[in-house]
Structure 1
Amino acid sequence: MSETGKPISRIDGHLKVTGKAMYSAEFNQPNMAYAFPVRATIAKGRITSLDDTAIKKEPGVISVVSYKNALKLKPLDMPAQAKAGAAFLGENLPPLQDNTVHYPGQFIAVVVAESYEQARAAAYKLKVHYAAEKAATDLKTELPNSKKPTKLMGEEAQVNGGKTATPLATSAHRVDNTYSTPVEHHHPMEPHATVAVWEGTDKLTLYDATQGVGLTGAIAAYFLGLPQENVRVIAPFVGGGFGSKGLWLHTLLVAMAAKAAGRPVKLALTRQMMQTNVGHRAATIQRVALGTDTAGTLKAIRHHTDTYNNLTEFFEPSGKQSLVLYKAPVREVTYNVAKLNRGTPTFMRAPGETPGTFALECAMDEMAYQLKMDPVAFRIANHTTQDPMKGHDFSSEFLVDCYRIGAEKFGWSARSMEPRQKRNGNYLVGYGMATATYPGGRSAASVKVSMTAKGDVTVMTASIDIGTGTYTVLAQTAADALGVPVNRIQVKIGDSSLPAAPLAGGSQTTASIHPAAMEACALLRKELATLAIADSSSKLHGRKPDEIGYADGKLVLIGDDKKTDSYADIMSRARRVEVEACATTLPVSGAGLTVPSALCTPREIPAEQNSDSKHYAFHSFGAQFAEVWVDEDLGTIRVERFTSVQDVGRIMNEKTARSQIIGGVIFGIGAALMEATEYDKRWGSPVVRTLADYHVPVNLDVPPIDVHFIGKADPHISPIGARGIGEIGITGVAAAIANAVFNATGKRVRDLPLTPDKLV
């Protein structure tokens, strides 16, 4: 592969820096109206009256939609939704279907007007009265009422409950501490926005900021009672998501408003609404216990999480990595989940592993210090090459290499075991490290590739680029699979009318769509070879397909590079202006890695074919190293430099991959040092409302970040050997920083964020 792996700059970069890249809110329509939602001001209860008489007379108001007059949607029915591909919701609450309030900020009505300003002004004048009920607003207060869920994303939620008590009690060395993480919000730069356009009564187009056009379309079709082919979702560019985009039902709100208004309608959520209506990472209280023998060999790992949810079965799965990392004879992972009247928690970049690695990796550092072992050496001594729960080998695993390379690149050998040994003026200097991990996922996907007689290639799939570089890397894959330059390839994505692809989440996009692109290109080459073989004017006439290779826009006889036939010549003689092929690939093993036909819609995977998943566990791994400077008087913490080494399979584009890890590390710095959403315990509403008071890292907070990749292909996940990279970069970052703070100061801070008040 000549193009794959190269640090090619983003092919969509020029559109973005010149402002020509179109985001959902920019698809303005003729005769378009504007919607603004009305939100509940109580945390729990019922609406007793909603008087819209006065605001209907406000300037520009077209309609007011509430539970009193809203279009009736299909009710929640999980089996039917699953069959329709619409079961994956942010919250189980179709909008405006009754007068019940479940959390402050819940959408209870929507005003449609000629302008955004008119809709917003009128919305604030809507008269609403409530019968408020006692709300659950605080996690610690509600824990006595919590429940132990039995399932977590289809897996057992309570693993080996109580089974670590004896091995922990008999361990020569033990740590057993509680760690907490706060509510965090995604806050992508681009707010959620949707434009809804009806064509007649049964065809709908949504321009939506979504991580999955197919999923958003399926959800809209199901609840609106439309055939899926009648709903088209378009999202060519998405300004970040981090798990927050694509699962929320404000898209239905816009469609309902457009139906009521009889014209296209735009809704753009405010930053305040993004605090309440599109999910967040729930707070966690985690208790982690480790036990070792006198030599430092782990005997038991126990990881318990208290957290909450609302209007969904999802909860923050903070024990996930504790089922994967390290060799221990017994491990216990359990959860208690309370119900709070808050906006519904959801997936946020590396759900589970982000807060979970903070707790586990801080506990590992505490144990290493108790043992007087180097933290890297302690991890290597307890390293496992198998999934501890399944007993399967990892499909590809180079974590020990990550530790060793990271330690060398970072200069770990200069670290002192005892805290408070390094100083720079008034700053205490500390080194810390942690392990990173995230599952390697892959789903079925379809890609169509077409080539014109002029040699221009178009690659088409309903995938999404949420800032990860999908446009660019997909072009690189096609360039190699066809032997044509990247600049002759156009990539079309972000449209549900294109061949189906999975949600851009769970770090699965690259591993899913690129095998399909390779197979589609192979089918296209096969079509061209068939034309050449049958053509007496071709130098390849009469040859067998397996004798023919390709390079530089030509088919080539293997072993005789003088016998060639260009794609353009083949198509010209055959009087073809275009050749195209479409392929679907499935995450199964061996020959089943692809569907060897022009099939172009994902289908169910035959269980008996999925043998690699029965023999291997798919995970990515990494090592994070941080140097911090802590002001001894003020307690302020600066991350001075950071090294991240990642084992994520083949690197498809070193520049975009590095960018993803840098972004993840910055995300982790925010989680470690500043990010937290505070709530008013009286009313249940967030008091952190904007990016002015929800602090995220800015340029001066970000140090030099040194990124390295192992770069070895995973031979089992797909023919390209790449695993996802979008989420692993954040995992372990907060723990590495917290461990460095201990090394600097001698003080353990087990509650995020690591603010000065917790040190001074």
Structure 2
Amino acid sequence: MTELVGRGVERVDGRAKVTGAARYAADNEVANPLHGFLVMSTIARGEVTQIDTGAALAHPGVVQVFTHTTMPRFRTVPGFPYNRTFIPIQDARIHHSGQPVAYVVAETLEQAQEAATLVKIRYRTEKPTARLEDAIDEAFLPDAFRERPNEVEHGDAEAAFAQADVRIQQTYTSPMQHHHPIEPHTTTAVWDDGGLTLYESAQGVMLTRMAVTNAFRDADGNAPDIRIISPYLGGGFGAKGPTYPHTLLTAAVARELGRPVKLVLSRAQMFTSTGHRAEYRHRIRLGATRRGELTALVDTSTAQVTRTDERVFNTSDSALNLYTCPNIHVRQMGVRLDLPTSSYMRSPETTAHFGLETALDELSYELGIDPVELRTRNHRTVIDPNTGEPYEKHLLECYRVAAEAFGWSRRNPEPGATRDGDEYVGWGMATETHTYSANPSQAQIVIGVNGRATVRAATQDIGTGTYTVLTQVAADGLGMPLGHVTTLLGDTAFPNASLSAASATMASVVGPVSDGAEQARKAVIELAVADPRSRLHGVPAENVIVENGHLFARGDRRRRDSYHAVMARHGGEIRVLGSKPNTGGHTFGAVFLEVRIRPRLGSIRVSRVVTAYDLGRVLNRRTAHGQVTGGVTWGIGFALLEQTMVDPNTARVADPSLSGYLVPVNADTPKLEVMFVDRPIGDSEALGARGFGETPGTGVPAAIGNAIYHATGRRLRDVPFTRDKLL
């Protein structure tokens, strides 16, 4: 075999991306396209009373302006994976500011954009509610979403908290935040012979097809043939997982006009059209013995939902699954606000995890126990519900190796006691954890007459390195050089495979690719040993090994053949379909970091980060390291910079641009040391790997806050930790 899996192989799609050969969704050229642009509501609650489209229709190049009186109707409102319970431009009702109220179509993008400014709209307005604090008394317990209840109890947490030797009771908050991938959301819709092709920036082409199929099903239940194509994404972070209104609307107007239509959302439109992380308030009560053993955990969160959609996306999984505690009560509440519908955002548990990991740090100081030791004393051995055996978990080793590399033992625990010149220096740590899914997937392996392989699967590469890892896995399983394998993704014409979300891609698709490669390798060996023209003729198939594209008889390497020769003599292709179901689980890690604070300015700088992770088998060290770099940077943004400001009177995003919404840049990214506990887990069909991508960063916000307390003695509980809060 080639032994490629585990190595830090460079990205196989890197050249295509840096040379511009990679075609992102809006790059696809179609014949005679029209261009669409959305007109968005300027109120947050009420209804449209009048729309004047006369000036827009008279503008040069404008083909049509669709409003709620002229937009084609959808027979049913799709459910998940469509992200709302209503489709805009179907009636006059306004549910949030920035809701689409008209769809302008023109010959050029510039003509559509200019015409959109000419649409005149009158509204009947109602007073909106935009902040949790303005309606916190109306909090309620939403129904279960995707079979996940919003209230879970083990034991009697209230009684245990009241009787605890030591108690911590605090509230932690985080604001609305947005994903902002560099590639905006875009749809190009092409109808041909009754079928629909969508060039879409999508994290899940199969889920997108499901949502669009539901929307276009007729009264008899029939739906058109629909193909979704999304080979490259310029990021997504969860924003491109669900299907949004612009996709359905673009498909509808393209069918109505009989021409392809391309729509690209503006950056400002993405603030209200593609989901966000909801504003969040988290009240935690911890009870413990004097030895630091948790006896009670009461976890009550309140998140923004809407009057039309009551889903809670920011779950308290770590409270339920991370530490040993006999009495736990988790309640995930919602407050209906007049804002856009929220959605999953990278590492959605981070909001709740921030509160838990900060509360544990507060408990450690109350008890006088080192924060690492406190977590170690409450380490939980998990029983896998699928096997009944202890879940393979090496979190304690993550603590140990990261703490040693960081030099944690040299830490002076006294807050405010460590300085370097005019800077306060603080050290903080937190556990990192994330749930990952494993979705039913398949992968096709084709060995061509030239002896080279093609992998096809309807999953996506969201920028995480999926092309590279799947190519490694296939090449390893086939015994081919990496350059002899081509991987094709992001097309519903390929075998069904997982969406790129919930850290599920590797856990779901690696197994099927490995299985397909094994089938294809065995099929080629069978051809060789059965062919009198092959030097391997008559060798038992189990005695043939494959390396670097060549087949050898075990023990006699003079008897050899090659993929190219075997397939050339065969004169046809070999096609196999790999499928290997897997189960989801949890990935764990630890982050230790240092902050430096200049007290006169209130400036905070993360100067050093050390991490360690248990992600099962490391499939590619380079791409895994990249995920950590991205996750840590994301966590710094969560803790220090990112917040979407909403006008409390109008429920309108105050500054819908990247000039006002701050994200980390290179200067904010510190020195980073990354370590992996590289141990394959026995029950993972993904060659022993766990899902990993969203784990790095989950503990970073709490670790930063904990380090700030260690540096200054000041506890900040509301992110982002801006200068005004510290001063």
TM-score over 0.5 for the alignment?
yes
> Which residue is equivalent to 2:126?
133
Query: Contact 1:180 / 1:750 at 8 angstroms: preserved in 2?
Result: yes
Q: Does 1:317 align with 2:314?
A: yes
Is the contact between residue 149 and residue 158 of structure 1 (CA under 8 Å) also seen in structure 2?
Answer: no
Range moving further from structure 2, 102-111 or 11-20 = 11-20
Matching residue of 1:336:
333
Compute the displacement of 1:97 (Å): 1.7
Hey, what does 2:23 align to over in structure 1?
22
CA contact (8 A) 2:200 2:228 kept: yes
Q: Which residue of 2 aligns with 1:680?
A: 647
Q: Which residue of 1 aligns with 2:68?
A: 67
Partner residue of 2:474? 478
In the alignment, the residues of structure 2 paired with residue 134 and residue 335 of structure 1 have an alpha-carbon distance, to the nearest angstrom, of 27
The RMSD of aligned alpha carbons is: 1.9
- What SS class does the counterpart of residue 159 from structure 1 fall into? strand
Alignment of 1:427-576 (within 5 A): 427-574=423-570, 576=571
Aligned to 2:375: 379
The CA distance in 2 between the partners of 1:688 and 1:649, in whole Å, is 42
The more displaced of 388-397 and 401-410 is: 388-397
Are 1:5 and 1:653, in contact at CA under 8 Å, matched by a contact in 2? Answer: yes
Give me the identity figure in percent. Answer: 38
TM-score (norm 1): 0.92
Measure the CA separation in 2 of the matches of 1:280 and 1:467: 20
**Counterparts of 2:536 and 2:154, CA distance in 1:** 67
Could you say which residue in structure 2 is the equivalent of 1:238?
233
Which AA in structure 1 matches 2:718? D
What is the aligned counterpart of 1:635 among 587, 602, 610? 602
Separation in 2 of the partners of 1:265 and 1:170?
65
In structure 2, C-alpha distance between the alignment counterparts of 1:256 and 1:155, rounded to whole Å:
33
Which amino acid in the other structure matches residue 330 of structure 2? Answer: V
Alpha-carbon deviation of 1:141?
1.5
Distance in structure 2 (CA, Å) of the matches to 1:618 and 1:216: 25
For 2:93 and 2:350, how far apart are their aligned partners in 1? Answer: 34
**SS at structure 2 position matched to 1:276:** helix
Contact 2:451 2:565 in 1 (8 A): no
After TM superposition, the runs of 4+ consecutive aligned structure 1 residues lying more than 6 A away are 226-229, 388-391
- How many Å apart are 1:322 and its aligned residue? 0.5
Give the aligned partner of residue 282 of structure 1: 278
Spell out the pairing of 1:60-459 with structure 2 (5 A cutoff). 60-76=61-77, 78=79, 87-160=80-153, 163-200=156-193, 202-225=194-217, 230-247=225-242, 248-310=244-306, 311-351=308-348, 353-386=349-382, 393=389, 395-459=391-455
- The answer to whether the 8 Å contact 1:618/1:717 transfers is no
* 1:504 Cα deviation from its structure 2 partner: 0.4
- Is the Cα contact below 8 Å between 2:81 and 2:208 reproduced in 1? no
- Residues 516 and 167 (structure 1 numbering): CA distance in 2 closer, same or farther, change over 3 Å? same
Partner of 2:57: 56
CA gap 1:67/1:14 in 2 versus in 1, 3 angstroms = same
Q: Secondary structure at the match of 1:322?
A: helix
- What's the CA shift for 1:170? 1.1
Count of residue correspondences: 721
Q: Secondary structure at the match of 2:346?
A: coil
- CA apart distance, 1:468: 0.3
AA paired with 2:507?
A: A
TM-superposed CA distance for 1:397, in Å, is 0.7
3-state SS in 2 of match to 1:358:
helix
User: Are residues 453 and 388 of structure 1, via their aligned partners in 2, closer, same or farther at CA, if it must alter by over 3 Å?
Assistant: closer
Deviations 1:298-318 (A, max 9, x none): 111111101121233421334
Q: Secondary structure at the match of 1:445?
A: coil
Unaligned runs of 5+ in 1: 79-86, 588-612
| C-alpha displacement of 1:717 | 2.3
Deviations 1:632-671 (A, max 9, x none): 1121110011111111111111111100111010000000
- Counterpart CA distance in 2 for 1:479 and 1:228 is 39
Name the CA distance, whole Å, in 2 between partners of 1:145 and 1:379.
Answer: 36
Shift of the 731–239 alpha-carbon distance from structure 1 to 2, 3 Å rule, reads same
Change (3 A) 1:719 1:18: closer
Equivalent residue number for residue 597 of structure 1: none
Query: 1:510-555: per-residue Cα shift (whole Å, max 9, x none)?
Result: 1111111111111212222332233233344345443433222233
Q: Secondary structure at the match of 1:160?
A: strand
1:654 correspondence with 2:621: yes
* Contact 1:427–1:629 under 8 Å retained in 2: yes
**Cα 1:409–1:350 shift into 2, 3 Å:** same
Distance 1:449 1:228 in 2: 30
Give unmatched runs, 5+ long, in structure 2: none
| Deviates most, 63-72 or 534-543 | 534-543
Which residue is 2:693 aligned to?
Answer: 726
The answer (yes or no) to whether the contact 1:359–1:735 under 8 Å persists in 2 is: yes
Could you tell me whether the CA contact under 8 Å between 1:357 and 1:435 is conserved in 2? no
Look up the equivalent residue of 1:103 and give its one-letter code: H
SS of corresponding position for 1:259 = helix
1:151-180 CA-to-partner distances (Å, cap 9, x unmatched) read: 243122111289311111111111110000
* Cα separation, 1, equivalents of 2:664 and 2:388: 39
